[in-house]
Amino acid sequence: MTSVKIGNKTIGDDLPCFTIAEAGANHEGDVTKAFQLIDSAKKAGVDAIKFQTYSAEKLTTKTAPKYWDDGISNETQFDVFKKLDSLNKDEWKKIFDYAKQKQILCFSTPFDEDAVDLLDSLNVPAFKIASADITHIPLIRKIASKKKPIFISTGMATMEEIGDAINTIETEGNDKIIIMHCITSYPTKPEDANLEMIRTLEKEFTKYTIGYSDHTLGTDVAAFSRLFGSKCIEKHFTHDKNLTISRDHRLSLDSDDFKELINKMELIDLSRGSSVRSEFPSEVNSIKYARRSVVSRKRIEKGSKITLEMLDVKRPGTGIQPKFLETIIGKIVLRDIPEDVPITWNDVENNE
C-alpha cells in the first residue's frame, strides 16, 4: 500500500489514523463562522478540516428533489444549497489563510470545475471527490490534473464505478489516492455501515490507502472502522449543534465529540497488538506464579526413587512443568526435598 502525504501528515499503515472534520457548508456563508469551525477543529485535535465549495446553479436544477429527510417538505436541493453558496474567492482565501495561521490542514470538496480552479489557486493541500460525483468523470479528470492528493468517497458506487474513477485519476498521472468507504445516507443506521467493505476495498485496490467517511450518529461506528483497517476517518463537524441554516449541524460532531472519537481510536490502536502471540512483560509474574509445577506431596529424601504418590501439581510454576510429571517418575532424587515445594530439574538425576 502506498502512503500519502498531506501537508506535514502521512496517511498509511502503522500510523495514527488521519482525522478529517468535515465542516461542509456549516459556515452558513459566514466567514466568522468558518473561523469558529477552524478554531473548534483545532481544539478537537483533528488533522484536517474540510469544507465544500459549490454554486447551487452549477450543482442542481431548481426542481431536483432532496435525497435526505430533514423533516422539511416543499423544498428542493437548489433551495437548500442556495442558502449556503455565497462565499467568494476573497472570503475563501481568508478562510484558508486563517487555517494556515492556526496550523491546521484545510481543504475542500469542489463540485464544479471552476471550484477546482479556485481551490487550486488557493494552494489547498488536497482535494475531496464526493460520493455523488464518483461517476462525474470530467470533474474527476479536472481534479486529478492538479496532481494533488485526492480523497474519493465511494457511497452508492459499484466496484466498476470505483474502478473507473480510480483509472481516470491514474490516467492523469496521479496516484496519490485515498479511497473512502462511505454510505450515502443521512444519518446512516449502524446496520447499514457495512464496515467489512473497508477490507474488500483494501483487497481490490491494494496499491491505495483505504479510509472511511462516516455518517452514523455518535462516535462508535467510526472508531470501530479502525479495526477493519481504515487509515483515515472523516466525520461531519460543527462548532454549534444548535445552528439550523445548514442541515448538517444536527448530524455533526462538535469539538468534544471529536476528542472522544480520537481517544477511542487511540485506545483501539493501543490495544490492537499483533497477530503473533509473543511474551508480554505484564505476564511475567503470572507465568511464574499462576501456572503450576510438579511439587512434593511429602518430604523426599536424597537417593529416593520418585513415585507418583510422592508428587502433586500446584502453583507456583517455578518448578518442573506438569507435562513432565510422568517423565520424572523413577528418577533418583539428588538432594533432600522438603514437603510441598516445587521440584526442579536440579533436584533429580539426568540420565538422558
Amino acid 30 reads D
pLDDT band at 69 (very low <50, low <70, confident <90, very high): confident
User: Whole-structure pTM over 0.95, yes or no?
Assistant: no
Task: Write out the three cell numbers for 168.
Answer: 481516470
Residues of the chain with CATH 3.90.1210.10: 281-347
Structure-block grid coordinates of residue 298 = 511429602
Cα 192–chain centre separation: 18
The distance of Cα 272 from the centroid of its chain, to the nearest Å, equals 12
- Type of residue found at 103: Q
Q: Boundaries of CATH 3.20.20.70 in the chain? A: 10-272
pLDDT digits (tens, 9 = 90+) for 302-323: 999 999 999 999 999 999 999 9
Structure confidence by residue, pLDDT tens digits, 208-245: 999 999 999 999 999 999 999 999 999 999 987 777 66
Tell me, which fold does domain 10-272 have in CATH?
A: TIM Barrel (3.20.20)
Q: In the chain, which ranges are continuous DSSP H helix?
A: 31-44, 56-59, 77-82, 89-101, 113-121, 137-144, 159-171, 196-204, 220-224, 255-272, 284-289, 325-328
Nearest to 231 by CA among 11, 24, 32: 11
CATH of 281-347, one of 2.60.120.920, 3.90.1210.10, 3.20.20.150, 3.40.50.9100: 3.90.1210.10
Asked whether the predicted pLDDT for residue 110 surpasses 80, the reply is: yes
| Rounded CA separation 282/59 (Å) | 58
8 Å CB contact between 56 and 78: yes
pLDDT of residue 175: 96
Rounded-to-integer distance, Cα 140 and Cα 234, Å = 20
Nearest Cα neighbor of 241 from 265, 258, 264, 220 is 258
Residue 117, C-alpha cell as written in the block: 480552479
Phi first, then psi, for residue 290 (nearest 5°) are -95, -30
Closest CA to 237 of 47, 86, 91, 50: 50
**Could you give the percent of the chain with pLDDT greater than 70?**
98
When the pLDDT of each residue in the chain is averaged and rounded to a whole number, the result is 94
Task: Quickly tell me which residue has 448538517 as its cell.
Answer: 248
The answer to whether 99 and 38 are in contact (CB under 8 A) is: yes
